[in-house]
């Protein structure tokens, strides 16, 4: 008997992969508002519904804020809910993002990341997701179209786990991932027969539609109980690493390999390591190969699970390294470091080894990161004394900029 | 009158004195906290080497509604106030309306109560303030009398209560209080200023003292609400217990009460002297925001006073004049009779 093939080839861009994941996870509600560059997600889900491949409610809302509120409602009712947004839309949704986490709504949100106005820009950077990173959700950064699909599928499994019940974001760069078509794997009908029972049906214990056990959600909780409510929410995040590990392990064994905390490239024997989010890991790999050819021991790390942040794993990976560069495609003006760099530094600060960490800001508004620039960054790591006095991140690629790499 | 036992001094190095005003939304107590701060600001000494006398005022916020019990906290201190946290025990509690519930929370035997009531001993027994020190002043009566003189129907007892209150702080003279009142009410005309100053003066002079320490006046037992551990709460702070308003009788916010005219005239109607007004048109049922009109067999049979907040909408919408409005205090008195 031949082994059944769990997957089939599918040529698609990031948004289409996200929509395919939604269909394969058998969502109940999609509530979305069109915004570049995530518009195709609800469009493609609409196609799935039209072709009767998916039985879901497609809510056409009048704005991002109401789309977010609709997600709160449908998730509280116990419906498997998906949303997609970008940039300004994410900001307009902001109050709902906190509401999802606080009300324990496991909404999966696909974010095709994009720069924030002004000036108006539709291209990629992580300013939008980083601005809302403390809303209480799990955040996974996909490096390609395949991972958008993988993480969205896993997202439902992880977020809806009763130990967690928190929103799950899949962040992928606008256009570079969302609109680039590649050859990917999706679950075959046979694969779905295995996947669907494992994923199960979302059964919210406190469903608003359970008329036998009426429940009030989103009520006033003042100082007597707010701290406890927030700790309950936070405890969900504390449970997340174990749940993610379980889910990723099953998925990797049964279907194909998925990353669940970090991805490394030539880190074991490396002396100089760069850390990045998302698909620029590929750019780093090009530079690392060049440097290795010249005898420079370079390595690269990609943070896959930004929330929960893989603190222990990162400490383990970076112990004994001579210097680390953290590349941020987002900004925190006036701060000693940009968001990702802050987290890496904080994770390392209380570990045994004191490692010099340099913060780099690059590529805001979709400017390409060139491998030559990455090589320069690695070269600068050889001489930490030159940059240890920096009080803020070094900007690269600015025409006329005075920051010295 | 010897009231040394009722004094609190503030000195360098002593802890700040905390007090809480219990009043309702319509009683003019929104301003007392800031007036106390103004009082202390006038006394504050700034010099190169020393700053003495500090005060703060913070109102507590929740639901907003006329008649809803509202609290304002004050702190005064010799040394600068550095913490704005709420104290566990208040040194002074001012009760502007004896019908407010929970006034003895966060107090101990050293707490001084200033109450808007005629007799300090009686009110201590009535609302369970003992064994404590109680200062009573019939502030509402004073306010009504003084305001009537200037042709106003206002009944705000705030200034008279403040007059009695400053007995506690010997370093605040009545004249200083009058100055602050003048400052506060100056926009409302000389008449109002003078009437309020007279209220404060009468409050100061007519205050009565009762030292209940060592007596067996029983203290009201306040059931502390059960506070949940984080893992006892449902995810997202959801609540299964719909109908837990059973424990929270918002009817206590009421300052006026709807009365069913037919009920009042029941005997006369039976005797055929008056006609029934209510036609059971159900307009009041549809309009009551709190769903307090009780209906049985398609007939209006009563009003749920546990939750009626006395908004008077039923009175407004009734086309037949079947619902009247009575001041709550009067209604309570009538109930007793």
CB contact, 8 Å: A121 with chain B?
A: no
CB contact, 8 Å: B227 with chain A?
A: yes
Q: Which of residues 151-210 of A touch B (CB under 8 A)?
A: 165, 205-206
> Interior CA angle at A22 toward A16 and A24, to 5°?
100
Q: In this structure, which long-range contacts are made by residues A371-377, counting pairs with CB atoms below 8 Å and at least 24 apart in sequence?
A: A371/A283, A371/A286, A371/A287, A371/A290, A372/A287, A373/A397, A373/A405, A374/A274, A374/A283, A374/A284, A374/A286, A374/A287, A375/A287, A375/A290, A375/A291, A376/A405, A377/A274, A377/A325, A377/A327, A377/A405
Task: pLDDT tens for chain B, 337 residues: list them.
Answer: 457 888 888 888 888 899 999 988 767 777 888 888 888 887 776 555 556 778 888 887 766 666 677 888 899 888 888 888 888 889 999 999 888 878 888 888 888 999 999 988 888 888 877 778 899 999 989 998 998 898 888 888 899 999 999 999 888 889 999 999 998 888 888 999 999 999 999 999 999 998 888 776 555 554 455 788 998 888 888 887 666 666 677 777 787 899 999 888 888 888 888 888 999 999 999 999 988 999 999 999 999 998 898 889 999 999 999 999 988 878 887 887 7
CB contact, 8 Å: A238 with chain B?
A: no
* Site of tokens 């499994």: A157
* A56-60, A396-400, B130-134, B273-277: least confidently modelled range: B130-134
CA distance to partner chain B, nearest, from residue A72 (Å):
12
Confidence of residue A233 (pLDDT cuts 50, 70, 90): very high
If you count residue pairs, one on A and one on B, with CB atoms under 8 Å apart, how many are there? Answer: 64
CB contact, 8 Å: A224 with chain B?
A: yes
Please indicate whether, in this complex, the C-beta atoms of A102 and B234 are within 8 angstroms of each other.
no
* Cβ neighbours of B239 in A, within 8 Å: 215-217, 219
The pLDDT value given to residue B253: 79
Please indicate whether, in this complex, the C-beta atoms of A206 and B225 are within 8 angstroms of each other.
no
CA distance to partner chain B, nearest, from residue A150 (Å):
27
Token pair listed for A238: 């504390």
Question: For residues B178 and B205, what is the distance between their CA atoms, to the nearest angstrom?
Answer: 14
The pLDDT value given to residue B63: 64
Question: For residues A101 and A27, what is the distance between their CA atoms, to the nearest angstrom?
Answer: 19
Please indicate whether, in this complex, the C-beta atoms of B233 and A225 are within 8 angstroms of each other.
yes
Interface test with B, best of A163, A229, A237, A238 (most B CBs within 10 A): A229
* A85-99, A284-298, A342-356, B67-81: least confidently modelled range: B67-81
Enumerate the H helices of A274-326 as residue ranges: 280-293, 311-318
Q: Which of B62, B228, B242 sits opposite A228 (nearest CB)?
A: B228
Interface test with B, best of A162, A215, A231 (most B CBs within 10 A): A215
* Cβ neighbours of B228 in A, within 8 Å: 225, 228
As a whole number of angstroms, the longest Cα–Cα distance in chain A is 70
CB contact, 8 Å: A211 with chain B?
A: no
Contact A348, A357 (CB under 8 A): yes
Q: Which of A165, A213, A222 sits opposite B235 (nearest CB)?
A: A165
What are B236-275's pLDDT values in tens digits? 888 876 666 666 777 777 878 999 998 888 888 888 888 8
Nearest CA among A165, A192, A300 for reference residue A254: A192
Name the residue of chain B whose CA is nearest to A218's CA.
B238
Q: Which of B227, B230, B239 sits opposite A216 (nearest CB)?
A: B239
Please indicate whether, in this complex, the C-beta atoms of B225 and A231 are within 8 angstroms of each other.
no
CB contact, 8 Å: B81 with chain A?
A: no
The pLDDT value given to residue B5: 84
**pLDDT greater than 70 at residue A259:** yes
Please indicate whether, in this complex, the C-beta atoms of B238 and A214 are within 8 angstroms of each other.
no
CB contact, 8 Å: B13 with chain A?
A: no
CB contact, 8 Å: B233 with chain A?
A: yes
Contact B261, B277 (CB under 8 A): yes
**Percentages of chain A per state (helix, strand, coil), in multiples of 5:** 40, 20, 40
Please indicate whether, in this complex, the C-beta atoms of A232 and B240 are within 8 angstroms of each other.
no
Please indicate whether, in this complex, the C-beta atoms of B62 and A232 are within 8 angstroms of each other.
no
Q: Which of B227, B230, B231 sits opposite A224 (nearest CB)?
A: B227
Name the residue of chain B whose CA is nearest to A223's CA.
B227
Name the residue of chain B whose CA is nearest to A102's CA.
B236
pTM of the model: 0.82
CA distance to partner chain A, nearest, from residue B93 (Å):
22
């Amino acid at each position: 008997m031949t082994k059944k093939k769990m997957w089939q080839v599918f040529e698609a861009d990031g948004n289409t992969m996200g929509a395919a994941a939604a269909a394969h996870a058998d969502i109940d509600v999609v509530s979305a508002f069109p915004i570049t560059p995530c518009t195709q997600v609800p469009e493609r889900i609409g196609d799935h519904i039209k072709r009767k491949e998916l039985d879901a409610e497609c809510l056409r809302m009048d704005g991002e804020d109401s789309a977010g509120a609709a997600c709160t409602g449908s998730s509280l009712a116990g419906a498997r809910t998906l949303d997609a947004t970008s940039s300004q839309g994410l900001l307009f949704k902001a109050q709902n993002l906190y509401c999802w986490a606080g009300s324990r709504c496991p909404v999966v949100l696909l974010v095709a990341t994009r720069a924030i106005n002004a000036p108006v820009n539709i291209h990629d950077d992580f300013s939008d997701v980083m601005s809302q990173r403390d809303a209480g959700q799990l955040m996974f950064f996909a490096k390609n179209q395949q991972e958008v699909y993988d993480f969205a599928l896993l997202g439902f499994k992880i977020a809806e786990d009763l130990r967690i019940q928190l929103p799950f974001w899949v962040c992928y760069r606008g256009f570079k991932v969302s609109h680039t078509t590649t050859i990917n794997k999706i679950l075959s009908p046979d694969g779905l027969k295995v996947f669907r029972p494992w994923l199960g049906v979302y059964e919210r214990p406190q469903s608003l539609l359970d008329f036998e056990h009426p429940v009030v959600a989103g009520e006033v909780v003042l100082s007597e109980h707010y701290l406890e409510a927030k700790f309950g929410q936070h405890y969900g995040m504390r449970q997340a690493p174990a749940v993610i590990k379980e889910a990723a392990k099953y998925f990797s064994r049964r279907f194909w390999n998925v990353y669940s905390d970090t991805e490394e490239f030539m880190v074991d024997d490396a002396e100089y390591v760069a850390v990045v989010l998302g698909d620029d890991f590929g750019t780093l790999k090009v530079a690392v190969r060049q440097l290795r050819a010249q005898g420079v021991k370079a390595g690269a790390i990609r943070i896959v699970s930004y929330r929960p942040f893989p603190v222990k794993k990162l400490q383990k990976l970076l112990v004994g390294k001579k210097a680390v560069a953290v590349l941020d495609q987002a900004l925190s003006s006036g701060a000693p470091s940009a968001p990702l760099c802050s987290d890496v530094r904080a994770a390392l600060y209380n570990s045994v080894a004191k490692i010099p960490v340099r913060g780099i800001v690059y590529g805001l508004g979709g400017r390409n990161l060139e491998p030559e620039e990455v090589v320069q960054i690695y070269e600068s790591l050889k001489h930490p004394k030159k940059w240890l006095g920096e009080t803020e991140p070094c900007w690269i690629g600015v025409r006329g900029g005075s920051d010295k790499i | 009158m010897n009231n040394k036992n009722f004094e609190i001094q503030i000195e360098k190095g002593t802890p700040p004195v905390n007090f809480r005003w219990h009043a309702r939304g319509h009683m003019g107590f929104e301003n007392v906290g800031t007036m106390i701060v103004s009082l202390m600001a006038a006394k504050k000494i700034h010099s190169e080497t020393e700053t003495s006398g500090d005060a703060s005022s913070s109102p507590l916020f929740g639901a907003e509604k006329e008649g809803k019990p509202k609290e304002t906290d004050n702190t005064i201190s010799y040394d600068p106030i550095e913490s704005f946290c709420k104290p566990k025990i208040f040194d002074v509690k001012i009760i502007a309306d004896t019908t407010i519930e929970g006034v003895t929370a966060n107090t101990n035997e050293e707490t001084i109560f200033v109450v808007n009531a005629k007799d300090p001993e009686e009110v201590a027994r009535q609302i369970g303030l003992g064994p404590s020190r109680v200062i009573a002043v019939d502030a509402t009566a004073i306010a009504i009398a003084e305001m009537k003189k200037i042709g106003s129907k206002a009944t705000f007892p705030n200034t008279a209560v403040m007059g009695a209150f400053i007995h506690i702080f010997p370093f605040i003279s009545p004249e200083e209080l009058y100055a602050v009142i003048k400052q506060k009410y100056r926009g409302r005309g000389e008449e109002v200023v003078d009437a309020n100053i007279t209220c404060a003066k009468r409050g100061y002079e007519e205050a009565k003292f009762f030292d209940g320490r060592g007596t067996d006046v029983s203290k009201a037992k306040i059931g502390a609400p059960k506070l949940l551990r984080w893992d006892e709460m449902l995810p997202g702070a959801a609540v299964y217990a719909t109908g837990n308003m059973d424990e929270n009788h918002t009817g206590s916010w009421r300052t006026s009460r709807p009365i069913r005219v037919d009920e009042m005239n029941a005997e006369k109607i039976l005797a055929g002297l008056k006609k029934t007004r209510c036609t059971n048109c159900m307009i009041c049922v549809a309009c009551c925001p709190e769903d307090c009109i009780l209906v049985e067999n398609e007939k209006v049979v009563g009003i749920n006073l546990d939750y009626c907040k006395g908004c008077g909408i039923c009175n407004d919408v009734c086309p037949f004049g079947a619902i009247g409005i009575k001041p709550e205090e009067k209604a309570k008195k009538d109930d007793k009779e």
